[in-house]
Chains A and B, each alone.
Chain A
Amino acid sequence: MQETVLLPLIILLPLLGFAVLGLWGRRLPEPVPGVVASALVLGSLLLGLVLLGQGGARWAVEDWIPGVPLSFVLDNLSGLMVMVVAGVGFLIHVYAIGYMHSDPGFSRFFSYFNLFIAAMLVLVLGDSLPVVFIGWEGVGLASYLLIGFWYTERVNADSARKAFIVNRIGDLGFLLGMGVLWAHFGTLSISELRELIAPEGEFAVGINVAAVSLAAFLLFIGAIGKSAQVPLMVWLPDAMAGPTPVSALIHAATMVTAGVYLLCRNSFLYFDLPDVSFWVVLIGMLTALYGALCAFGQTDIKRIVAYSTLSQLGYMFVAAGVGAYWVAMFHVLTHAFFKALLFMSSGAVIHALGGEQDVRKMGGMWNYLPQTRIHGLVGALALGGLPLLSGFWSKDAILAASYEYSALLWFVMLITAALTALYSMRWFVLVFMGKYRGHEHPHESPAVMTWPNHVLTLGSLFAGFVGLPYVVQSENLLEPWLNKAIVHHEHEKLPVLDEWALILVSAVVALGALYYGYRFFQAEAAGRLPAWFTRFQEASLRSFYADDVYNALLVRPLKSLAKILFDADGGLLGGFWWLGSATGNLGALLARLETGYLRFYAAGLLIAAVLLVLVGVIR
């Protein structure tokens, strides 16, 4: 591990792109900003890989704010994320050159995109919680800017704002979590905290477990917000208002996995806290199920994929909750490939149909888009968990880990996996199968958009082989490599037979569900669905009324209370004025005693004198 100033350079490259493109991008002719931005991200990726190859790196400024360093670390965990962020990020940058073609905000888009990459790298590389938080809010800002990229539409601006505000709820948890750690351990450097809390892979003796629990829980709230888990999931589907590359990069492959990364990076807090971990598992499980159910009713091609993201993030949380941190990161990796692929295939379809996003007006794309159809198929199958594809291996690892935790959890996750296979087939069938139901003239995307998808297709096919179960490969590539950077409990491996049985079950379930889904949703494409299912779809389309509940219970009461208080505050000033005028009125009242008649005063004098004398006499 070397001290090197090259480490912050990884971040500075895209930041430079942000500044330069933001200031002068509009003077550059069209493809140039995109090329510059992509090249800078590629530079970050290569630099990161070189440093990682040299065994990692760190860099710090002490006392950035008193007691808190500005420190970065590149170890295997952050290295993996750098690969995902800059690697997949680079591909999506290239894709966007084609997708954003002839948009008036072309250079602005790439400027924001580079800002996002820079912020995400800060988040990933930060070795001090406030530094992570810089990236954490930075990606939130980039996400806000990009969701509202086409800000002249009110819906888009609203969605962007909603995303930012909901994220801030989680951020408050993050902030307060840092408050706890600071109050009890006096440092916010992650590596120092790790030394203090879990020096030997165990909680240190005499540590305040309650404080650690509270901190872990609060940080988890932050993760809930950023990764759109129940109950803060409402912003992610709306975030699809942004351009499709944004959905692919930010709201699928990278930013939303930041919550999972946070849990893994701080695994030393969670690994020995069964109570907090239970909550992580519970939230993850609920989200996985909820997202899967919501995906069935969506009619927007991107929202289907968005809900599947929600669901897959739930899987990752379950993995982190049961203590299988490397598995969570494994799923982050494979998910980045196949989900980016799904989004970009969706983008290619939208592009082909001149901006149409409604799956009811699609269909039959198999005949029109010879390359995108392969991308879509591979993406959908990987998401659905077709055996041997990347999604299968990582999901299987999660299922195995949850089986060790509890059979019930395993069962729920298995059901969810079946649902996943079903809706991924729904997406595929509605878009690609049957007859075209619209009136455009679909055309395949240019090479600059298909080539990134080719690479992602390869990733979706083969990325799973870095994390094979031990019964297939006794020591896979990823687990020991990642575990160097993660504090966790060593698990006893499941017996060989159980492991095989689990693999078999999930393979059978996935195959069965994929096949059944393929058949079943041909009926939807033809408009022949059972009545119970259409009713279910209506509820699902409105995401089971989550937004309505929030609006009724929180947003509207808070807004009207704000109005009332605002008027009341004017009343407060009125109150001070009243105090002033009350004094004046009292004075005016007393002034009425001044009649101006001399004898009135003289009588007063006399009466007072007499009274005084009387008082004297009586006493």
Chain B
Amino acid sequence: MDALLHVGLFLPLLAGIALLIWPSLGRRLAVAASGVTFLIAAWLFARASGEAYTFQALLLEPIQMYYALRLDGVGLVLWLAVALTTLLAVFIAKVPTRMLGWALLMESGLLGIFAADDLILFYVFFEATLIPSLLMLGLYGGRERLKAAYTFALFTLAGSLPMLAALFAVRYLGGAPSFLYSDLAAHPVSGSVADWVFLGFLVAFAVKTPLFPLHAWLPSFHAENHPSGLADAMGTLYKVGLFAFFKWAIPLAPEGFAQFQGLLLVVAAFSAIYAAWLAFAAKDWKRLLAYGGVSHMGLGALGLFSGNAEGVTGALFLLAASMVYTGGLFLVVGRIAERTETLEIGPVRGIAKSAPALSVLTMFLVMAMIGLPGLSGFPGEFMALLGAWKISPWLTFIAFTAVIAAAAYALTAYQALFQEEQNRVVSDLTPREWAFAVAIVAGVVLAGVYPKMFTQMIHPLSEALAKLLGGGA
């Protein structure tokens, strides 16, 4: 089992490097590598027994830093989501071959983020993933790519420094013997130190959730990225803030979290409704999806910050589900942009007539995004609502008006592109796109119809966190 863990983690890295050196190896290698990674993730998921897969080796003796991996239920679900989305992305996106290499490098980083059980290791993965993401934006982006890349880098780095400080504070002021999660969690910091530590983590993770007002980098990030949607899909996977709060920030400084909980709930609720509202005014698909994503993460954050088991499970489920459907939507939009040569909403209309299957696929993912029950967007959103209502009915009400707004912005944009008078003839799905469609639809339906498969992996861990916070199950 150990070996599989490492193979899954580093295979994309190796394949990515190979692709960067010898781009002539082509897409086939990228698909094969991410396919194997997906199979490994699925295998690990299927074989999961309630015990986490773990591995530990001392890496740096003087500071007691370990190469420690721990893939528990939450990690497995997220691995599955990341591996599936990456596979679909490299399978479908029409991009220069080297870009696929960068995407694979990113995949390794992301898998590492979800598997790392040592805080330094986590930090390394968390930061290392930035590099391919930035390079994809800087190398293959649109006209304003450098400005977008600057913005992205500055936001991320501005978050990382406080996190680095928090990371040392949490160990040395808490008195833990190493950076291992188990050691750190056994020695939580308290008092005003806990506040500062949590604040440090908060800045870094809020950028990556993203929460208002630290979401400001996201719209230009997506708008300027390569129109194929590959980098956007990978960027969507990189929105790991909720997971990081769940795994690190909250358990390591529960007192600090308690201190900020009220504020965070308000910010989360505000993010949800604010971004949904903005999405309505968006004039191109990528900004629309970017704001839509912020809105959904706001709902997830509301669930997570409510601190009870169902809210936390909902948040993590929503995180994993949104990786797949938002990533998928970016890719689909990329395919559409390739046909119509624009990402703008408005100039091209009525293409459902000539591309019915494409329109159904898009409708399907849009419905998943706006949380139609029976598709993967719903269970997470719903559990987040159940959890949040217990803590703050009013905020829940305000935040969840976003589901009305979601219907408004998503269907308005859908109508503008696919319905009304046809003014452009585009081709329907190619066989390759059909394969993509079948895979993603299967995933979205499975998670929507039988969420138990995933929630039963997540829920015990959420219950543990809720217990830690004194919320009870």
Interface residues of A, Cβ cutoff 8 Å to B: 22, 61, 63-67, 108, 130, 133-134, 136-138, 141, 144, 148, 151-154, 157-158, 161, 164-165, 168-169, 171-172, 175-176, 178-180, 182-183, 558-559, 561-563, 565-566, 569, 572-573, 575-577, 580
Given pairs A63-B455, A179-B393, A562-B277, 7 additional interface contacts (CB within 8 A): A151-B415, A175-B400, A175-B403, A176-B389, A176-B397, A180-B393, A183-B390
**Is there an interface contact between A176 and B400, defined as CB atoms closer than 8 Å?**
yes
**Residue in B216, B360, B373, B456 whose Cβ sees the most chain A Cβ within 10 Å:** B373
Taking the complex as formed, is B87 at the interface, i.e. its CB lies under 8 A from any CB of chain A?
A: no
Interface residues in B155-190 by Cβ distance below 8 A to A read: 155
User: Chain B contacts of A569 at CB under 8 A?
Assistant: 216, 219, 278
CB within 8 Å for A152 and B389 given contacts A165-B404, A168-B404: no
**Is there an interface contact between B451 and A130, defined as CB atoms closer than 8 Å?**
no
In chain A, what residue has the closest Cβ to B217?
A: A573
From B219, B274, B386, B451, A178 is in contact (CB under 8 Å) with B386
From A22, A133, A136, A165, B411 is in contact (CB under 8 Å) with A165
25 sample A-B contacts, Cβ–Cβ < 8 Å, listed by A number = A22-B360, A65-B452, A65-B455, A66-B455, A133-B373, A134-B374, A138-B373, A141-B372, A152-B421, A152-B422, A154-B420, A165-B408, A165-B411, A175-B385, A175-B403, A179-B385, A179-B386, A179-B389, A182-B389, A565-B278, A565-B281, A566-B282, A569-B219, A576-B154, A576-B155
Tell me the minimal C-beta distance from A419 to chain B in angstroms. Answer: 33
Taking the complex as formed, is B298 at the interface, i.e. its CB lies under 8 A from any CB of chain A?
A: no
In chain B, what residue has the closest Cβ to A61?
A: B452
**Is there an interface contact between A562 and B455, defined as CB atoms closer than 8 Å?**
no
**Is there an interface contact between A66 and B420, defined as CB atoms closer than 8 Å?**
no
B266-281 toward A: CB 8 Å interface, digit per residue (1/0)? 0000000010011011
Tell me the minimal C-beta distance from B390 to chain A in angstroms. Answer: 5
**Is there an interface contact between A562 and B401, defined as CB atoms closer than 8 Å?**
no
B405-428 toward A: CB 8 Å interface, digit per residue (1/0)? 001100110010011111000000
CB within 8 Å for A168 and B393 given contacts A65-B383, A161-B412: no
User: Chain B contacts of A176 at CB under 8 A?
Assistant: 385, 389, 393, 396-397, 400
User: Chain A contacts of B396 at CB under 8 A?
Assistant: 176, 179
From B277, B356, B367, A565 is in contact (CB under 8 Å) with B277
User: Chain B contacts of A158 at CB under 8 A?
Assistant: 415
B133-161 toward A: CB 8 Å interface, digit per residue (1/0)? 00000000000000000010011000000
**Is there an interface contact between B412 and A180, defined as CB atoms closer than 8 Å?**
no
Tell me the complex Cα distance, A154–B420, Å.
5
CB within 8 Å for A561 and B277 given contacts A66-B383, A179-B385: yes
**Is there an interface contact between A152 and B360, defined as CB atoms closer than 8 Å?**
no
Interface residues of B, Cβ cutoff 8 Å to A: 151, 154-155, 213, 216-217, 219-220, 274, 277-278, 280-282, 309-310, 313, 350, 352-353, 356, 360, 367, 372-374, 378-379, 382-383, 385-386, 388-390, 393, 396-397, 400-401, 403-404, 407-408, 411-412, 415, 418-422, 450-452, 455-456, 459
Tell me the minimal C-beta distance from B320 to chain A in angstroms. Answer: 14
**Is there an interface contact between B313 and A66, defined as CB atoms closer than 8 Å?**
yes
From B278, B373, B459, A134 is in contact (CB under 8 Å) with B373
CB within 8 Å for A562 and B280 given contacts A152-B350, A572-B216, A580-B154: yes
CB within 8 Å for A63 and B420 given contacts A137-B373, A176-B396, A563-B281: no
In chain A, what residue has the closest Cβ to B401?
A: A172
Query: Chain B: interface secondary structure?
Result: helix
Tell me the complex Cα distance, A134–B403, Å.
15
**Is there an interface contact between B379 and A65, defined as CB atoms closer than 8 Å?**
yes
User: Chain B contacts of A573 at CB under 8 A?
Assistant: 151, 216-217, 219-220
5 closest A-B pairs (Cβ-Cβ)? Answer: A179-B389, A566-B281, A134-B373, A151-B419, A562-B281
CB within 8 Å for A64 and B282 given contacts A165-B411, A182-B389, A573-B217: no
Tell me the complex Cα distance, A63–B151, Å.
44
Tell me the minimal C-beta distance from B368 to chain A in angstroms. Answer: 12
User: Chain A contacts of B378 at CB under 8 A?
Assistant: 134
Tell me the minimal C-beta distance from B299 to chain A in angstroms. Answer: 11
**Is there an interface contact between A141 and B367, defined as CB atoms closer than 8 Å?**
yes
User: Chain B contacts of A179 at CB under 8 A?
Assistant: 385-386, 388-389, 393, 396
Tell me the complex Cα distance, A144–B280, Å.
19
Tell me the minimal C-beta distance from A513 to chain B in angstroms. Answer: 40
In chain B, what residue has the closest Cβ to A156?
A: B419
**Is there an interface contact between B151 and A65, defined as CB atoms closer than 8 Å?**
no
Tell me the minimal C-beta distance from B426 to chain A in angstroms. Answer: 15
Tell me the complex Cα distance, A427–B74, Å.
61
User: Chain B contacts of A151 at CB under 8 A?
Assistant: 352, 415, 418-420
User: Chain B contacts of A164 at CB under 8 A?
Assistant: 407, 411
User: Chain A contacts of B400 at CB under 8 A?
Assistant: 172, 175-176
Tell me the minimal C-beta distance from A318 to chain B in angstroms. Answer: 28
CB within 8 Å for A63 and B385 given contacts A161-B412, A565-B278, A569-B219: no
In chain A, what residue has the closest Cβ to B412?
A: A161
Tell me the complex Cα distance, A553–B122, Å.
51
**Is there an interface contact between A64 and B277, defined as CB atoms closer than 8 Å?**
no
Tell me the complex Cα distance, A220–B365, Å.
30
Tell me the complex Cα distance, A577–B217, Å.
10
**Is there an interface contact between A152 and B393, defined as CB atoms closer than 8 Å?**
no
Tell me the complex Cα distance, A122–B246, Å.
35
**Is there an interface contact between A65 and B390, defined as CB atoms closer than 8 Å?**
no
Tell me the complex Cα distance, A91–B418, Å.
32
User: Chain A contacts of B404 at CB under 8 A?
Assistant: 165, 168-169, 172
**Is there an interface contact between B411 and A161, defined as CB atoms closer than 8 Å?**
yes
User: Chain B contacts of A559 at CB under 8 A?
Assistant: 280-281
**Is there an interface contact between B382 and A157, defined as CB atoms closer than 8 Å?**
no
In chain B, what residue has the closest Cβ to A561?
A: B277
In chain B, what residue has the closest Cβ to A560?
A: B281
Tell me the minimal C-beta distance from A389 to chain B in angstroms. Answer: 39
Tell me the complex Cα distance, A563–B283, Å.
10
**Is there an interface contact between A137 and B310, defined as CB atoms closer than 8 Å?**
no
Tell me the complex Cα distance, A134–B377, Å.
12
In chain B, what residue has the closest Cβ to A66?
A: B459
**Is there an interface contact between B390 and A64, defined as CB atoms closer than 8 Å?**
no
User: Chain B contacts of A171 at CB under 8 A?
Assistant: 403
CB within 8 Å for A161 and B281 given contacts A65-B383, A66-B309, A66-B459: no
CB within 8 Å for A63 and B386 given contacts A152-B422, A154-B421, A176-B396: no
Tell me the complex Cα distance, A558–B220, Å.
24
In chain B, what residue has the closest Cβ to A63?
A: B452
Tell me the minimal C-beta distance from B437 to chain A in angstroms. Answer: 11
Tell me the complex Cα distance, A572–B367, Å.
30
**Is there an interface contact between A157 and B455, defined as CB atoms closer than 8 Å?**
no
Tell me the minimal C-beta distance from B26 to chain A in angstroms. Answer: 32
User: Chain B contacts of A580 at CB under 8 A?
Assistant: 154
Tell me the complex Cα distance, A153–B353, Å.
12
Tell me the complex Cα distance, A154–B350, Å.
10
Tell me the complex Cα distance, A434–B450, Å.
59
User: Chain B contacts of A182 at CB under 8 A?
Assistant: 310, 386, 389-390
Tell me the minimal C-beta distance from A581 to chain B in angstroms. Answer: 12
Tell me the complex Cα distance, A283–B393, Å.
25
User: Chain B contacts of A153 at CB under 8 A?
Assistant: 420
**Is there an interface contact between A157 and B452, defined as CB atoms closer than 8 Å?**
no
Tell me the minimal C-beta distance from B133 to chain A in angstroms. Answer: 18
From A65, A152, A169, A572, B382 is in contact (CB under 8 Å) with A65
**Is there an interface contact between A175 and B456, defined as CB atoms closer than 8 Å?**
no
**Is there an interface contact between B216 and A65, defined as CB atoms closer than 8 Å?**
no
